[in-house]
Structure 1
């Protein structure tokens, strides 16, 4: 089983504004209409795991952008909108419990998304690979990707790509991973 984080941050490490806004992600010119490697990445995962706030943000988008199953981690959400019943399941538990439950269902490559969920998985040492795209903006405040952990987590740099001369995407693998 491999858990992945694939996310964009501002130069100063924020994934969203204070109110959860991500409009700034779309302010970078994209003349080629590139997906910056997202389609290749997502073609290799089995499912998405996201937090409730991320799910609520996704529900505001014009279309549903997920072909693979989505698991929403929440202790307060009881049900999803009916039109997503066959696409989304609600789960709760520690990252270790979530990983075990998904492995029992046959999932091997899990995409972890959402600030708090990523932080919980990092805190429990349950992130194997991170692909982080730096967007050339300083937000100054907002929702951080990383918060304090009780231990250091070592990663190795695998690759870096630059898109449109502005976005820097770096891929990191846990130091104990091959």
Structure 2
């Protein structure tokens, strides 16, 4: 079991535009069954965590497409309740224990955003970072990980239009 930040990123280091859009990411040719593609990653996941902006984007664009895994959304906003989604403003360490318990022998997926993932890192709870680098630049937006994190490169591959890197967090 590992806690993994799996994300798409522009070449200039952003996971979303300044208005929190992921449309640029969805327009790319992705997931040809590559080793680090989503189709091979998703079955490993037992529970997810994300921030409110990521959840709002999912609600606005594809609420039916969200994989029904137990999910914790870190937020101070009010959202409609769901069987598989829990809303919290608790400390990441407390919620991580719940995520791990729910995931069982599977991984915990930190969906985003970068600041939330940074909080998991700061608490010593982030194990790996998998980045799918898209062939696009955004110029501004939400950084992939807005703090200093030491990583060790473990694997590099290609997923159609994307260059993929898998890193282990150096402790």
The two structures have a TM-score, normalised by structure 1, of 0.81
SS of structure 2 residue aligned to 1:9: strand
SS of structure 1 residue aligned to 2:154: strand
- For residues 67-107 of structure 1, the C-alpha deviation after alignment (integer angstroms, 9 at most, x for no partner) is 21111112x234x425xx21211123222121123334464
Question: Equivalent residue for 2:95?
Answer: 98
Question: Equivalent residue for 1:120?
Answer: 119
Q: In structure 2, how many angstroms separate the alpha carbons of the residues matched to 1:144 and 1:106?
A: 27
Shift of 1:56: 0.8
Structure 1: unaligned runs, 5 residues or longer: none
Indicate the structure with greater helix content: 2
Question: Equivalent residue for 2:67?
Answer: 66
Q: Between Structure 1 and Structure 2, how many residues are aligned?
A: 166
RMSD, matched Cα: 2.2
Larger Rg: 1
Superposed counterparts of 1:1-178, under 5 Å: 1-29=1-29, 34=32, 37-62=37-62, 63-74=64-75, 76-78=76-78, 80-82=79-81, 85-105=82-102, 107-108=104-105, 109-115=107-113, 116-149=115-148, 153-164=149-160, 166-175=161-170
Q: In structure 2, how many angstroms separate the alpha carbons of the residues matched to 1:35 and 1:143?
A: 27
The two structures have a TM-score, normalised by structure 2, of 0.84
Shift of 1:3: 0.6
Structure 2: unaligned runs, 5 residues or longer: none
